[in-house]
Structure 1
Amino acid sequence: MTMWKNNLQKASYKNIAFDVISINDKNEKSLVRHGRPFANGSDIEDLGSQGRQCQIAAVYFGSSFDSQLIKLLTVLEEPGAGTLVHPVLGLLPNMIAASWSFRTEAEAVNYVALDITFFEAKESAPLFLFENQWLVKLEQIQNSLDQFTQQLLAYSNVLLTVREGGASIWGSSNGVFAALCGVAGSVRRFFDLDPLLYQTSKNYSSITFSQDVRGLIDTMSSMVCSGLNNESNFGTGSLSSRQAFDLIGNRVDILNQLPENILHNQNAQESQEAAINHVQRIAEIQMKPVAQILQFQSTVYLVQITVNIIEINSDHVTANELQLINSNLRLRIQGLINSLRGTYDYAENIKSINAAAFYTQTTILIQMLANIAAQFNDYILSVINQKPPMRTRKAEISGTIHQMAYLLYQDLNRASELMRLNPHLCHPSFIKRNDWINYYVK
């Protein structure tokens, strides 16, 4: 990040920005001294750092200083730690507001000064653990997905902003808006949704650009959520977890190809929403941010649907299926992280004045995506650990899957379970002796 040598970050806490007069940072070690008789000095045991302490003198000024102050006080009073954007050090995660005060003076009109103290927090390990750990992991990943969806809106505002020359990042804001309208219309037709319920065509206006963009992004997010959930409901009951995931994953892949289809078929029906903005042709660079937003939305809902599928089929899903699903989703999330890094690199290479804002938002989203991938991995492991230990042995006889179920469990009704655990078997009625059979111990 070479631009950090010449640019400072806009200070903020939990996405609420403020101006800074001065900062006083402090940190210290936890040391234990062991003295010895008749020896100079003492043995010092280093127990680690006590955590960063940051004292910030912040100000708000201008006609809207009171509303900005209220927003900051609201997030300061919220429980839990958050991300502090330090003007010099950048993003400091897990910072909690310990104390704050503000003052106003009669001679300083429309001006308020604040003194805020932040401490670095660390999540403590729970003393008591539930027996069903996968329920705890399930709640954690659902909370993370909700937070990511909210943060994605903030990223979209920075990505498609037209303030302070931001339109120069992607070219004409008119073309970007046309691309957004075209993709939103294609998403609606892709899922065959009601055009009266989901409005995807608007006339371009530079005055209401930001408001219209937020409305279209919300509409597109609602359509992706509704469409994917409707399709998952058809397959969840009759398909296995792996089959249901492959079905929704394939639909997501086709959905993410819509922006590229519009670029190569701009005279076809897919781009009719773009024509209303009087744009003759959408450039590839103008479609890039819209395609990225669609990819983020579809992947987030794919993770959410996958978690629900595994929850419903937790008694029947096998460890092999869970591992394959986990690997596929982690690759998709890594693709999103690479896309975020590419966006910031592009903004930095063209020397955009919004590059600092891109750095803040991309760093926050990358950390959130990494947390979601780690939490999903822990969720998969917790589901696997709920199942009995699995072993592998050679078939002692040649026969059918029902005969194997009787030999292993003395229960013919568990034949379907053996079929799920052994997808490599060619036919359930023609199992040869010495074929490898996977089975649960219990």
Structure 2
Amino acid sequence: MGWATDLHDASFRGVQFECTTVSDSWSKTIATHQAPYSNAASVEDMGNDPRRISIQAVYAGEDYLTWLNALLAALQENGPGELIHPIFGICYAQVTNHNVNHDVDNYDACSFSIDFVIAKSQKTKRFIPLKTQSFIQPTYIIANPAAALKQALEKLKLNDKNAFFNVVNKIRTGLQTVRNVMGIAKNAIENILSPETWATGLIDDITGLVTFDMSISAVSKWRDVIKRIQRFDKLFDTDDAQNEPVELKQLWRATQVASVVAISQSVVATVRNEMAQNQETSFTPVELAVIRQQNRQTLQQVINIEREQVSLGIDAVSQIQVYKEIADQIHLQIQELIEVHPPITTASIQVPCTLHWLAHFLYEDMERAHEIRRLNPDLVNPAVLQPGMEITVYAR
């Protein structure tokens, strides 16, 4: 996946424009110390200079002048503003210079260039609870697709009973396959004609598989269940799908997403409870960030699929909006948990030492060695830290 599939709509202070080229440059501040009559020099790295961005863009069309005047007004305001970089997304930048070019052959268009320097990002307030939902209900995700499938089944029953029974049997077989592979016992007879009921029941059963304790890594359990759910992406994609309602695949996509979201809600609830009891959390901030990224990828994939389904006559627009709202809430929930801790940083090992010595050096508390160990699961030998190693730690 390249940048062409993940472009952002470029804008500055809310005024959008079309980019043709973007150039980003980085440089370092270097102090050179040299003795007289010596060819050797000691070079000291004084840190990074702010990133510079050069954007070439165009406006075209009969209303181009309206957009150009709005952009010029935004560029002439004092102080840094919010820049949506087409590749890297949101950043805060100060305009250093800009120019506009008009060409006699293009009377309804103009090209312009803008140079920015990245300003200091706005500080995020810490230790202040965010306004997030305490729990995201899976039924909210599957409600619309379930209602659409129920209506489609009723219509199919009236028009083609053979196709109706084939679809019902396929749903029953598919659900049984999922339960067998996932190792879920069937506790009650499923009402196939009530899609919301069987979808909700399956989500609850899958969520019940995830229990976090210290005997096995919690993130390993989470990753195992997520991978098992992903195995059923093509459950209802078969060659004999001509008479099957497209609403069935839409509901199945929603059921998979709701299962992933429900498991993430279990993670959030577990960490919140451990923090409330002042216990060591089962998930580190780095692991929480991985879970957030997995949810973002899952939701983005299903949004892309839903956009392709608009031409098939199903209500994809409202379902896409549901997925967007869920993605935002999960992001805020996990960000809230991450920001309860001090920020994550790295420490460079200067002398050979152990984790206990490093914990004493950083925090004056060697008991926090296990905390550093959890933040560095790939560490081979915690008793031998060599100079030059980069260790992930909490900021002091």
Which TM bucket (shorter chain)? Answer: 0.5 to 0.7
**Which residue does the alignment assign to 2:164?**
173
Correspondence list, 1:4-83, <5 A: none
Q: CA deviation at 1:438?
A: 2.2
SS at match of 1:428: coil
Contact 2:147 2:196 in 1 (8 A): no
Describe the shift of the 1:306–1:158 C-alpha distance in structure 2 as closer, same or farther (beyond 3 A): same
Partner of 1:247: 224
1:183–1:258: 8 Å Cα contact kept in structure 2? yes
1:157 alignment partner in structure 2: 150
Asked if 1:219 is matched to 2:198, the reply is yes
What is the aligned partner in structure 2 of residue 204 from structure 1?
Answer: none
SS in 1 for 2:136: helix
The superposition leaves residues 310-364 of structure 1 with CA deviations (integer Å, 9 ceiling, x where unpaired) of 332355333322222212111111222223233332x2xxxxxxx3xx2xx3221
**Displacement of 1:368:** 0.8
Query: Aligned in 2, Cα 1:219/1:433: closer, same or farther, shift over 3 Å?
Result: same
Please name the residue that 2:175 is paired with: 184
Structure 2 residues not aligned, in runs of 5+? 1-124, 276-280
Distance change in 2, residues 1:293/1:330 (3 Å): same
- Asked if the contact 2:207/2:262 (under 8 Å) is kept, the reply is no
Contact kept in structure 1, 2:146 and 2:251, CA below 8 Å: no
The letter for the 2-side match of 1:415 is A
**Residue number in structure 1 paired with 2:388:** 434
Which whole-Å CA distance do the structure 2 matches of 1:401 and 1:159 have between them?
61
> Closer, same or farther in 2 for the Cα pair 1:130/1:392, shift >3 Å?
closer
- The CA deviation string for residues 17-72 of structure 1, in whole angstroms up to 9 with x for no partner, is xxxxxxxxxxxxxxxxxxxxxxxxxxxxxxxxxxxxxxxxxxxxxxxxxxxxxxxx
Q: Where in structure 2 are the equivalents of 1:288-327 lying within 5 Å?
A: 289-313=247-271, 315=275, 316=281, 317-327=283-293
SS in 2 for 1:137: coil
Separation of aligned partners in 1, 2:210 and 2:142: 20
1:390 partnered with 2:383: no
In the alignment, structure 1 segments of 5+ residues that lack a partner are 1-128, 201-211, 265-281, 348-354
The answer on whether the counterparts of 1:252 and 1:299 sit within 8 Å (CA) in structure 2 is no
Residue in structure 1 matched with residue 366 of structure 2 by the alignment: 412
Give the CA deviation at 1:440: 1.8
SS in 2 for 1:437: strand
Query: How many residues are aligned here?
Result: 264
Q: Which residue in the other structure is 2:295 paired with?
A: 329
Q: In 2, Cα distance between the equivalents of 1:220 and 1:297?
A: 6
CA distance in structure 2 between the aligned counterparts of 1:384 and 1:166, rounded to whole angstroms: 54
CA distance in 1, matches of 2:160, 2:352: 70
Q: 1:178 to 1:342 in 2, by over 3 A?
A: farther
In structure 1, what is the Cα distance between the partners aligned to 2:392 and 2:183?
43
- Give the superposition deviation at 1:308: 2.0
Where 2:254 maps in the other structure, the secondary structure is helix
Change (3 A) 1:146 1:324: same
Please give the alpha-carbon distance, in whole angstroms, between the structure 2 residues aligned to 1:400 and 1:159: 64
TM-score, with structure 2 as normaliser: 0.57
CA distance in 2, matches of 1:339, 1:167: 28
After TM superposition, the structure 1 = structure 2 runs for residues 337-356 of structure 1, keeping only pairs within 5 Å, are 337-345=303-311, 347=312, 355=313
Q: Residues 435, 229 of structure 1: CA spacing in aligned structure 2 closer, same or farther, 3 A cutoff?
A: same
Alignment partner of 2:132: what SS? helix
User: Kindly tell me: are residues 156 and 339 of structure 1, through their superposed partners in 2, closer, same or farther at Cα, counting changes over 3 Å?
Assistant: farther
Query: Helix, strand or coil for the counterpart of 2:393?
Result: strand
What is the one-letter code of the residue matched to 1:142? Answer: I
In the TM superposition, what is the alpha-carbon distance from 1:300 to its structure 2 partner?
0.7
Q: Aligned equivalents of 1:322 and 1:342: distance in 2?
A: 31
* d(CA) in 2 for partners of 1:339, 1:374: 19
Change (3 A) 1:238 1:191: same
- The normalised TM-score by structure 1 is 0.52
Cα distance in 1, alignment partners of residues 335 and 185 from structure 2? 40
Aligned position for 1:199: 189
Helix, strand or coil for the counterpart of 2:178?
Answer: helix
More helix by share: 1
Q: Could you tell me how far apart the structure 1 residues matched to 2:126 and 2:351 are?
A: 43
CA distance in 2, matches of 1:438, 1:193: 39
> How far apart, CA to CA, are the structure 2 residues paired with 1:428 and 1:288?
54
Q: 2:141 aligned to 133, 144, 148, which one?
A: 148
Q: Would you say the 8 A contact 1:181–1:216 is kept in 2?
A: no
Identity over aligned pairs, percent: 19
SS at match of 1:313: helix
Separation of aligned partners in 2, 1:132 and 1:167: 58
